[in-house]
Amino acid sequence: MKGTGRRVLVAMSGGVDSSAAVYLLREQGYDCVGATMELYGTPAETLEDARAAAERMGIPHHVLPLCREFEERVIGRFVEGYRRGETPNPCVDCNRFLKFGLLHRKARELGCDYLATGHYAQILEDGAGGWRLCKAADLGRDQSYVLYPIPRELLGRTLFPLGGLTKAQAREMAERAGLANAQKRDSQDICFIPDGDYLAFLERYTGQSFPAGDIVDLEGRVVGRHRGAAGLTIGQRRGVGVSSPGRIYVCAKCMEDNTVTVGPEESLYSTGCAARDWNWLVEPPEQPFDALVKTRYRQREQPVRVVPEGDRVRLEFAQPQRAVTPGQAAVVYDGGGAVLGGGTIAEVEE
């Protein structure tokens, strides 16, 4: 079998996906070691589910206390992003700094050849001795968008066992393994904000209030009041707090003035953006080129002109794109579903 003699550290979240990943890797002959990150707000049930799954499959299991690192690298950046008026994606930072940073180092400490997770994505050979991060076979489950921060040099030491499977197949594997979490529900919210109330979390976590302020229209006229600009995001329609005969959306925020600007849907479209903290998963290009881009997790890829500018990249959309939001990720793909690189949206061009 292809995994014979190879040792792999498997990130176990207590859910069905990571447990199914262990099952599949063991079937392929890998020597598995489980590891669960204990983070800010991690429920005791999560740790117990992961431990029980590891015990059921007969593999050693480690709990890694990473609360301090999680607060510094993920929650801290999340809070600062909202203070700047951005809408950050903490899952990207967790992947960047913890899963494919600290966990990869832990894998080496434990003598493991690979790190594996239960993400739905694929790492495939590029035909030239290298590796490419590619979309999952099940496009409805594909998570390649949030995986772009993986360092290019670690692609060959990372495994995504579920990349060629559907969710139903993963659950079937967990059932065959006799795992109690086989039918465990997927989490739908950010792990440290399970109720989805971002503003309440920010105020509770920081001990500071985000004061109410004016909601203005595109001409600057006051049309309502918000209860905290940090609680609204670009493109939001529901819960804005303004009555109007037509649909209106959040189209801008100014944290200095504590104002939120609203307008009709056509005001949400932009012609391009600039992204910072760019990570290339291919040889960094020097010249502009054409590709496809996603600026939101569930968005279909759109044609784009990619213009490298040092550690930033400027993206020129072939067609104006809706609700491009600072703090979110911009991820560039080739035409075959491989991730070329990605970064954090810093500026939006009208």
Query: Packing angle between helix 16-27 and helix 167-176, nearest 10 degrees?
Result: 70
CA 170 to CA 259: how far, in whole Å?
46
Query: Packing angle between helix 198-206 and helix 76-83, nearest 10 degrees?
Result: 110
Q: Tell me if 64 sits within 8 A of 37, measured CB to CB.
A: yes
Q: How many CB atoms lie within 10 A of CB 126?
A: 13
Sheet holding 259-263, edge to edge: 222-226, 213-216, 259-263, 249-254
Burial of 281-290, coded b for 16+ CB within 10 Å and e otherwise, reads bbeeeeeeee
Give catalytic status of residue 94 as yes or no.
Answer: yes
Q: How many CB atoms lie within 10 A of CB 19?
A: 32
Instruction: Indicate the pairing of strand 213-216 with strand 259-263.
Output: parallel
56 contact partners, CB below 8 Å, separation of at least 6: 177, 178, 179, 180
Q: What is the DSSP string of 52-63?
A: HHHHHTT--EEE
CA 116 to CA 158: how far, in whole Å?
6
3-class state of residue 303 by DSSP: strand
The DSSP letter of residue 338 is B
Catalytic residue among 91, 94, 112, 251: 94
3-class state of residue 288 by DSSP: coil
Give catalytic status of residue 191 as yes or no.
Answer: yes
Catalytic residue among 32, 91, 134, 191: 191
Return the percent helix, strand and coil in the chain, to nearest 5: 30, 30, 40
Q: Closest Cα to residue 253, out of 295, 285, 210?
A: 210
Active site positions, annotated: 94, 191
